[in-house]
Structure 1
Amino acid sequence: MSAGGIRAGNAPRAVGHYPHARRVGNLLFLSGIGPRDPGDDSIPGNEYFADHRVRKYDIQAQTRAVLANVRRVLEAGGARWQDLVDVTVFLTDMARDFPAYNAVWAEHFPDPATAPCRTTVGIAALPTPIAIELKCIAVVADDP
């Protein structure tokens, strides 16, 4: 059983031609979610040179923002934070950013026994000047 794509009105628009999420049965699959601000598309913690290249960024600010955006998409798809079961995290600088990102993750998921499974992957780049993106799967309760 497959439903149409889900668009979360309070999340940043998709960068490409895809939905924020798609529900299939009781599984909710989120497209890659980044930390962009839903209101103005800015990236929290980024500072730029005059030519718009990123001068520096704050991985903790971006991690908090991406987790907030994931929550928005989950809610639009009928899921809750605790319904997350699997998260793939993409970092553009694993060596530099993993400890700070991991600390923010622990704030949001303090009990490893109830946290979603997680895989963190270091990558060269993302399609916008962000340092983190999450790909998530959640289990949605059956409709009453």
Structure 2
Amino acid sequence: MNQKFETDNAPKPVGLYPHARKVGDLLFLSGVGARDAKTNEIHGNVYDENGKLVSYDIEAQCHTVFQNVKAILEASGSSWEKLVDVTVFLTNMEDDFKKYNKVYAEYFKENQPCRTTLGITALPTPIAIELKCVAMI
């Protein structure tokens, strides 16, 4: 059985893909960013008068992205505790890893899925973190 899931409790995808897809007993989440589900705002981002990003708060974005992942998991019949693998993409590994790792530890005290963290140059929206997750149903 192959089933797609979408929810209004997470930001809309920026392309033609679902929030998640169930295959067998596994749930695969598409890349989830740190945009607010209702406003599309990126918490912690500061822009100049021309709309150019001048600074961001990685901790605020971490909290938002984890809330978005949780919303997708729950809407898809899974839960935070059933995460088995998390791939994290950071646009500034050097400056953000320690802060992200601290917030990550708050959310994953009990359930500790496998994790890979990658430093990348950019994401499709002005976010500093994105997660790709696999969970059990």
Query: Normalized against structure 1, the TM-score is what?
Result: 0.93
1:76-102 Cα distance to aligned partner (Å, 9 max, x none): 110011000000000000000000000
Shift of 1:110: 1.8
- Give the CA deviation at 1:51: 1.6
The CA distance in 2 between the partners of 1:98 and 1:72, in whole Å, is 24
Identity %, equivalent residues: 56
- The residue type paired with residue 2 of structure 1 is N
Shift of 1:48: 0.3
Q: CA RMSD for the aligned pairs?
A: 0.8
TM superposition score normalised by structure 2: 0.98
How many residue pairs match? The answer is 137
Could you tell me which residue of structure 2 aligns to residue 36 of structure 1? 35
Matched AA of 1:116: P
| Alignment correspondent of 1:9 | 8
1:70 aligns with 2:74: no
Does residue 52 (structure 1) correspond to residue 58 (structure 2)? The answer is no
Mapped partners of 1:2, 1:39: distance in 2: 28
Which 4+ residue blocks in structure 1 deviate beyond 6 angstroms? none
